[in-house]
């Protein structure tokens, strides 16, 4: 039976997610409903994508009994309220990254998911790409020895995008794109808490971070460094250096289609989209969707690849980095 998806928002990433689902077998994944703040937006989205039900409020989606899982694609200041709405309505949820504005909100969401006994996952889509699966296999089998250094970058010019730069819309490089570097580091170091985090950077006049550089020290003198920026395009690659070898992830490290292991490159092409996409390589959103389906089929409440503990660790590290750089959201007060 197909997994029946309901979409919360008719925005840009909801469009890409829907296009990505269409690259999977229709007997496995169906979008059956979309909800937006305005009914006209939901209806327009539904007609563009051939979705049967359109709602003019998120509450109506929460009341729809014929949905297996809700995809939350609203901007991040609204992740807390929407996730609580759906978990309390006993809906399984896949919520876009970052899961929330801070660790306090993340804890509230995860507690509600647990209390209501629903599946819940932060949509860190990178973790489900075939390259990420292969990296985890290579690391587990010791192919590059003990990892001593991870370096990652994500910088792109986003000064014209309101939600990237305005504080009340959840702007800031770290939460929007730095999170991809941080999640890679956490994945490689197996969810270990760093012994030390040192962050430096600066804010825009709006009070959100434009560019941040972070170094992290883990046990046994293992290091990581990452840069994120809303101002400049960076090489946007990543490298994992072990005592016996090197894994390189060329751009775009957050949605990779090629990898170089000890000098040997392998390509992992993505399926072509049926409609133009808003973001780079978005048909790769299919892999996280399939992970959700597999978890639901097994009756799991969380994914072992992007667990609740992984989301909390990310949020706590983001809080610490923001504390050092001086980025404060209204949600922190």
Ligand X SMILES: O=C(O)[C@H](O)[C@H](O)[C@H](O)CO
Ligand Y SMILES: NC(=O)C1=CN([C@@H]2O[C@H](COP(=O)(O)OP(=O)(O)OC[C@H]3O[C@@H](n4cnc5c(N)ncnc54)[C@H](OP(=O)(O)O)[C@@H]3O)[C@@H](O)[C@H]2O)C=CC1
Query: Which parts of this chain interact with ligand Y (CB under 6 A)?
Result: 9-13, 36-37, 41, 73-76, 78, 96-97, 123, 125, 163, 169, 176, 279
CB of 77 to ligand X, least distance (A): 14
Kindly state the number of chain residues that form the binding site for ligand X, as judged by CB under 6 A. 6
| Using rule CB under 6 A, residue 169 touches ligand X | no
Toward ligand X, which CB reaches closer, 160 or 196? 160
CA distance 33 to 9: 10
Which residue stretches of 170-284 are H helix? 173, 179-188
CB of 138 to ligand X, least distance (A): 25
CA distance 321 to 199: 6
214 contacts 198 by C-beta, under 8 angstroms: yes
Toward ligand X, which CB reaches closer, 132 or 164? 164
Q: Which residues, 108 to 167, sit near ligand X by CB under 6 A?
A: 158, 161, 164
Q: What is the DSSP letter of 76?
A: G
**Options 153, 176, 209, 210; binder of ligand X; rule CB under 6 A:** 176
CA distance 250 to 131: 11
Question: Which entry of ligand Y, ligand X, none binds 73, CB below 5 to 8 A by partner kind?
Answer: ligand Y
> How many residues in total does the chain contain?
333
Question: Which entry of ligand X, ligand Y, none binds 144, CB below 5 to 8 A by partner kind?
Answer: none
215 contacts 227 by C-beta, under 8 angstroms: no
Of 247, 177, 185, 173, the closest CA to residue 215 belongs to: 185
**Options 23, 136, 279, 312; binder of ligand X; rule CB under 6 A:** 279
Toward ligand X, which CB reaches closer, 164 or 229? 164
Toward ligand Y, which CB reaches closer, 81 or 200? 81
Question: Which entry of ligand X, ligand Y, none binds 75, CB below 5 to 8 A by partner kind?
Answer: ligand Y
Counting other chains too, the contacts that 156-163 makes at CB distance below 8 Å and 24 or more residues apart are: 156/229, 156/230, 156/233, 156/234, 156/236, 157/230, 157/231, 157/232, 157/233, 158/230, 159/230, 159/231, 163/75
Q: Which residues, 177 to 196, sit near ligand X by CB under 6 A?
A: 177
CB of 55 to ligand X, least distance (A): 25
Question: Which entry of ligand X, ligand Y, none binds 268, CB below 5 to 8 A by partner kind?
Answer: none
CA pseudo-torsion sign 141, 144, 145, 151: negative
CB of 319 to ligand X, least distance (A): 19
- Residues at the interface with ligand X (CB under 6 A): 158, 161, 164, 176-177, 279
């Amino acid at each position: 039976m197909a997994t029946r998806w309901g979409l919360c928002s008719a925005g840009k990433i909801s469009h890409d997610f829907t296009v990505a689902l269409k690259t999977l077998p229709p007997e496995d994944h169906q979008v059956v409903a979309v909800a937006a703040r305005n009914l006209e937006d939901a209806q327009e989205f539904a007609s563009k994508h051939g979705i049967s039900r359109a709602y003019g409020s998120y509450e109506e989606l929460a009341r729809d009994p014929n949905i297996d899982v809700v995809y939350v694609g609203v901007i991040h200041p609204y992740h807390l309220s929407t996730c609580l709405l759906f978990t309390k309505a006993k809906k399984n949820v896949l919520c876009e990254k970052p899961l929330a504005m801070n660790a306090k909100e993340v804890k509230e969401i995860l507690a509600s998911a647990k209390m209501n006994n629903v599946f819940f996952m932060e949509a860190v889509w990178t973790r489900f790409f075939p390259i990420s699966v292969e990296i985890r296999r290579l690391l587990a089998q010791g192919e590059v020895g003990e990892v001593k250094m991870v370096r990652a970058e994500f910088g792109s010019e986003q000064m014209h995008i309101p939600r990237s730069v305005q504080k009340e819309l959840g702007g800031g490089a770290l939460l929007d794109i730095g999170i991809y570097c941080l999640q890679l580091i956490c994945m490689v170091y197996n969810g270990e808490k760093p012994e030390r985090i040192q962050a430096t950077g600066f804010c825009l006049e709006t009070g959100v971070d434009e560019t941040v550089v972070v170094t992290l020290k883990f046990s046994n003198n293992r290091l990581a460094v990452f840069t994120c920026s809303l101002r400049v395009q960076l090489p946007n690659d990543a490298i994992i250096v072990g005592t016996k070898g090197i894994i390189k992830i060329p751009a775009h490290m957050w949605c990779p289609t090629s990898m170089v292991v000890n000098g040997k490159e392998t390509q992992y092409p993505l399926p072509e989209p049926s409609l133009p996409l808003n973001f780079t390589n978005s048909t790769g959103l299919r892999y996280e969707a399939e992970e959700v389906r597999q978890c639901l089929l097994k009756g799991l409440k969380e994914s072992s690849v992007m667990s609740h503990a992984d989301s909390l660790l990310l949020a706590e590290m983001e809080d610490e980095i923001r504390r050092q750089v001086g980025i404060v959201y209204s949600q922190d007060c």
